[in-house]
Structure 1
Amino acid sequence: MSGHPTTGTPSLFEDGDERNYSRGAIHEEQRHHLRNVEGYMRTEDQHKAMNEMLSEDTQAQIGERYKNDPLYSATMHGNQPSRGAQQDAEIQAEETEMLRKKQEKTDSLAGKKLEQKPARER
């Protein structure tokens, strides 16, 4: 025996265990993907659709990280980031810090409008 399951589809299994999703998890995930997974007749089809939706989410997160983190691409491939990528990361960190400091300064200005509470909460 190879230790791999011989029934079901590979997408239903993770580390040799079948993934079962609660109705709440299925409902919440389908709201974000605008897909009616609860309408599927078989539970196996629901789980397969959930795996696909979660995979799409993971791929989107990885894509965003590739765009925003200059060091991510090299480290994902097991390489040392280049000097240029390291400098880009340092510049990005400095700019983020400067923007945070500017935001703190403008938040404390006297003329800045504060969020208004409804009359009944005052």
Structure 2
Amino acid sequence: MSGHPTTGTPNLYEDGDAHNYSREAIHDQQRHNLRNVEGAEDQQRAMNEMLSENTQAQIEERYKTDPVYRATIHGNKPSWGAKQDADIQAEEAEMLRKKQEKADSMASKKLEHKSAREH
């Protein structure tokens, strides 16, 4: 046996050992997941379940937003179409960022102009 656990997801373990969670960490996770596990017999197991659910939700969200993620997570080379989609997505994000910077800049100039007229 390799000494590493064979169940659960990798983020549930630290250096191959099961992770014990503090009360504060459990409380924070309860607020995030909107679940109460205070009276649960095995709070550590409940915490692992909540973290696993969070990880799964993050993976599903990434599947939706990152065209090349599904292929790379399975060890495959992304298709040409997925790469093109990722490039288009990056270009659109850059255009939106520049547009937002320009809008923010114009708004600050308007405020400066307005305050200068008042004084």
1:47 aligns to what?
Answer: 44
Gaps of 5+ in 1: 113-122
2:58 aligns to what?
Answer: 61
Relative to structure 1, the CA distance from residue 111 to residue 82 in structure 2 (aligned partners, 3 Å threshold; closer, same or farther) is same
Residue 75 of structure 2, aligned match among 75, 78, 84? 78
Residue 104 of structure 2, aligned match among 92, 98, 107? 107
Identity score, percent: 67
1:22 aligns to what?
Answer: 22
Q: Distance in 1 between matches of 2:92 and 2:77?
A: 23
Q: Distance in 2 between matches of 1:73 and 1:101?
A: 29
Q: TM-score, normalised by structure 2?
A: 0.76
Gaps of 5+ in 2: 112-119
Q: Distance in 1 between matches of 2:37 and 2:28?
A: 10
Structure with the higher fraction of residues in helix conformation: 2
Residue 95 of structure 1, aligned match among 92, 97, 103? 92
Give 1:4 shift.
Answer: 6.0
1:37 aligns to what?
Answer: 37
Query: 1:62 aligns to what SS in structure 2?
Result: helix
Relative to structure 1, the CA distance from residue 82 to residue 16 in structure 2 (aligned partners, 3 Å threshold; closer, same or farther) is closer
Query: 1:35 aligns to what SS in structure 2?
Result: coil
User: How many residue pairs were aligned?
Assistant: 103
